[in-house]
Amino acid sequence: MSQWSEPSKKIFETADVKNFEKSIAFRELSQALNKIISAVQNVKVPPGVLNPTIVSRDAGVENKSNSDATTLRVDKYQLNVKHLLKVLSDLERTVDETPPVAGPTRFGNIAFRTWHEKVRDVLTSLANLQPPEGLNIDDFLTEAKYYLASSFGSKIRIDYGTGHELSYLAFVGALMRYDIIKSPTGEELLILFSKYYDLVRRLILVYNLEPAGSHGVWGLDDHFHLIYILGASQFCSDPAAPSVRSVLSKEVLDTYKKSNLYVNAISFIFKLKSGPFNEHSPILNDIHVSVFLWTKVRQGLLKMYLVEVLGKFPVIQHFWFGEQLYPWVDVASKKPLPVNSSEETKSTNTNVDQKLNSPGTTAPWAKREYNHSTSYTHVNR
């Protein structure tokens, strides 16, 4: 029987992505994603969870208080959900205690590395989670804690992107799979994701985190993808949901940014960027021009996620694998998948990774023609 183990790197070259798609890890991530999407369908983020100042252009990034927080009643949620919310709250408090370093910081503020060092101490409290009978929480955390720690961005590159967002999905999926949070309601899941998104967006704003692996103007979003899938699912089957075309209007943004993650994410873009939306966010703009049903929006975003996140080497190379939660094992044969970990391969890909993340390097997608009109609508056919 496999033992719990700290996750390790298995994806070293582009060809490894095909092996990943055959793995038990890929199956478990896909199942977790589908369960969460189903659970949050037609469910609203409750009042007092999302902090509107984080996504409001006229609010400063140092605003630490959530004026609606007093309306949130956590006593109705299961014990481990409440404990996880406390962990996320403690992590946000460390942001308050770790101010950015003064001076120009074009490529991210190095105080983020100091904040990341503090994460380790905060996450020791995860040992207080109550496991189901027969599960040793320390064994579980040997693997699970890695995914939560990896979900807040890279302290080396001082960046954040969809690969880090994927790590949080992996963490929540592991909690569900092992009944640490047992049969969570859609509301409980939305609270866990909302508090996570508020935290990482404060990290982005306070420490000026670079987008990790961003496609620039030809990407869905500089930092996120999963948040849009969750928010689109919230609107599915909701007869009172706004039309897809109306979401970019100020009225809809103001009405739904505290209850829907899709609208909340759009609001964050308006906080960060100025100018015509169709110019700085053409892929999202395409959705609101060409799609009419929220079920179709969700379907297209899911297909795009499989291609642009789970299927992209620059993103998935940073996802690591343990023995239990997300094994590098063939789902059909149950045998370990090959690992192309020669020193030559490691050296080559390390150099490539450094080049892709160095200032002034042309991104690989900039070297080819990219027709943004097919990037969303094509996968939605």
Check residue 349 and give its pLDDT. Answer: 44
Q: What average pLDDT score do residues 132-141 get?
A: 97
| pLDDT of residue 313 exceeding 80 | yes
Residue 58: the pLDDT is 74
Please report, as a single letter, which amino acid is at residue 323. E
The ranges assigned to domains in the chain are: 16-347+354-375
Residues contacting 209, CB < 8 A, separation 6+: 108, 112, 153, 158, 159, 160, 203, 223
- The overall average pLDDT reported for the chain is 87
Q: What is the pLDDT of residue 61?
A: 55
Is the alpha carbon torsion for 264, 265, 266, 267 positive or negative?
A: positive
pLDDT band at 107 (very low <50, low <70, confident <90, very high): confident
Tokens 């770790």 belong to 98
Residue 274 confidence class, pLDDT cut points 50, 70, 90: confident
Instruction: Output the CA torsion 105→108→109→112 (10° steps).
Output: 180
pLDDT tens for each residue of 149-161 = 999 999 999 999 9
* Predicted local confidence at residue 358, as pLDDT: 34
Percent of the residues in the chain that have a pLDDT greater than 70, as a whole number: 83
Distance of alpha carbon 143 from the chain centroid: 18
Statement: residue 353 has pLDDT above 90? no
pLDDT tens digits along 42-81: 999 999 999 999 999 876 655 554 544 545 677 789 999 9
108 backbone φψ class: left, alpha, beta (φ>0; ψ -120 to 50): left
pLDDT at 359 over 90: no
Per-residue confidence at 363, pLDDT binned at 50, 70, 90? Answer: very low
Burial of residue 359 (CB within 10 Å: 0-12, 13-18, 19+) is exposed
Binned at pLDDT 50, 70 and 90, residue 347 comes out as very low
Give me the pLDDT at residue 72, please. 67
Residue 190's pLDDT is what?
Answer: 98
Has this prediction a pTM greater than 0.85? yes
Q: String of b and e for 34-67 (b: at least 16 CB within 10 Å)?
A: ebbbebbbebbbbebbbbbbbbbeeeebeeeebe
Instruction: Quote the pLDDT of residue 351.
Output: 40
Per-residue pLDDT at 369: 33
Closest CA to 306 of 9, 34, 8: 34
Confidence of residue 375 (pLDDT cuts 50, 70, 90): low
Mean pLDDT of 34-49: 98
**In the predicted model, is pLDDT for residue 177 greater than 60?**
yes
